[in-house]
Structure 1
Amino acid sequence: MNTLHNFLFNVYPYVCLSVFLMGSLARFDRDQYTWKSDSSQMLRAGQLRWGSNLFHAGILFLFFGHAVGLLTPHWVYEPFISPANKQMLAVVAGGVAGLVCFVGLTLLLHRRIFDPRIRLTSHRTDLFILIILWVQLMLGLVTLPYSISHSDGATMLALSHWAQSVVTFRPDASVLVDMDWPFKVHLVLGMTIFLLFPFSRLVHVWSGFATLAYVLRPYQVVRSRRLGLHTREDR
């Protein structure tokens, strides 16, 4: 068990991150026409609209919330909020966002499974990744009672310490030895999602972040054809 624990939380994160980055680059280089999320908006548009909006709003909040919460050093927020209060804030905010995301994903999953026309046009990987995300959300909601029972903030500090140790290439799985099982399974499945990312429809997330570059691009100068004619006549 010690060997498995060390592999899952000391080695497996780097395996997943390597495949995530290199696999995304390879897919963009070799299969650019698959770099998309297949649309089925002509079928059950109302359920799609509700499910997609709830899912994306919830998942974006959870993603950035996890990133900021786990990767922000303790000394940064210590003057403003205690670990216990930060953990309670994460439970409340994450719980609300998790429920919103769970409802949206359930609508999307129900739509793909129980509508025969959508099911026939869906790839197996589409259903597979939706089911994995659904299970991951369930595990995240299961961890909430465990977090509330450890209200001193120790759980938050241990998870943050592990995440920051991975990012700084000094992995320390020892802080997770006594962690409750839902947290461990949640972490492993979360890393597995990064491992599967390049091989699924999730790659379209990169395109979503890439559109932010349009905010920074310079204005495009467009000259009218009429102005061009006047210019030639003047010459």
Structure 2
Amino acid sequence: MANQFLWVIFPYLCMATFVVGHIFRYRNDQFGWTAKSSEFIEKKQLMIGSLLFHIGIMPVIAGHVVGLAVPKEWTQALGVSDHMYHMGAVWGGGFFGVVTFAGMFILTYRRFALKSVRKLSSASDLIVNSLLLFIVFIGMYSVIATSITQPEFDYRSSISIWFRSLLIFRPEGAYMIGVPLAFQLHVLSGFLIFAMWPFTRLVHVWSVPLNYVGRSYILYRRHREN
């Protein structure tokens, strides 16, 4: 029963919350759809941490998409052997994972350690920062520790198949039973952050100013003193 909840019910609850939560917030809280930047309080750490995080997270996300969504038979058909893929995942993914972790650590330290920034932060801000830091850390630990202690483990033969079974609504929770604990924690915390997403400042990632594209003018206003 516990496995059924963790690997079938919980993921679907998180995904449903992600979708419904975004719709609800967009309809009821468009003015709160913002990153609530604290740049005016402290800029240097924010700039460094944000830069490192964004440089690292894009390749990390791309690696997750390939690793989870693309069957290994497809990569093998393209001439990528399991050893080549593993080396790319460990070294390439490890490098960008470290960059992402460094950026997230700076951002989290800044939010907790700087009194002025902490006062401006909500409880959800502190929780999200901490959870993201944990997700990145446990993801790196999973790859490094497993490659040393369980080199025979292949997440593409377990986690990836389970994940794709969720996407086609034919969940196979049994694939996750023998997965190392660190990977399980990484997966569960990842789904949890998706469930929290609509109710935090993370929604700002969808705020692309498309209305400015194609404008032939910019309106400036000058403040006149009385």
TM-score, with structure 1 as normaliser: 0.84
Alignment partners' CA distance in 2, 1:34 and 1:176 = 38
Q: What amino acid is aligned across from residue 182 of structure 1 in structure 2?
A: A
Range 151-160 or range 134-143, more displaced? 151-160
Partner of 1:141: 140
Alignment partners' CA distance in 2, 1:154 and 1:138 = 20
Partner of 1:232: none
What secondary structure, in the 3-state scheme, does the structure 2 residue paired with 1:78 have? helix
Alignment partners' CA distance in 2, 1:94 and 1:214 = 36
Higher helix proportion = 1
- Decide whether the 8 Å contact of 2:8 with 2:171 is kept in 1: yes
Question: Over residues 49-75 of structure 1, what are the superposed CA-to-partner deviations in whole Å (9 max), with x where a residue is unaligned?
Answer: 100111122222212221122101233
Offset of residue 111 of structure 1 = 1.1
Alignment partners' CA distance in 2, 1:185 and 1:121 = 30
Give the percent of matched residue pairs that are identical in Structure 1 and Structure 2: 31
Partner of 1:69: 67
Partner of 1:92: 91
Partner of 1:168: 168
Q: Structure 1 residues 84 and 36, CA, compared in 2 at 3 Å: closer, same or farther?
A: same
Matched residues, number? 215
Q: What amino acid is aligned across from residue 66 of structure 1 in structure 2?
A: H
Q: What amino acid is aligned across from residue 180 of structure 1 in structure 2?
A: P
Question: Over residues 47-101 of structure 1, what are the superposed CA-to-partner deviations in whole Å (9 max), with x where a residue is unaligned?
Answer: 1110011112222221222112210123321122123432331121221111101
Can you give the 5+ residue segments of structure 1 that lack an aligned partner in the other structure?
Answer: 223-235
Partner of 1:226: none
The ranges of structure 1 where at least 4 consecutive aligned residues each deviate by more than 3 angstroms after the TM superposition are 149-153, 219-222
- Decide whether the 8 Å contact of 1:87 with 1:156 is kept in 2: no
Can you give the 5+ residue segments of structure 2 that lack an aligned partner in the other structure?
Answer: 218-226
Partner of 1:118: 117
Alignment partners' CA distance in 2, 1:196 and 1:51 = 22
Q: What amino acid is aligned across from residue 55 of structure 1 in structure 2?
A: F
1:59 is aligned, of 57, 62, 69, to 57
Partner of 1:225: none
- Decide whether the 8 Å contact of 1:98 with 1:141 is kept in 2: yes
Alignment partners' CA distance in 2, 1:73 and 1:144 = 19
Q: What amino acid is aligned across from residue 135 of structure 2 in structure 1?
A: Q
Q: What amino acid is aligned across from residue 76 of structure 1 in structure 2?
A: W
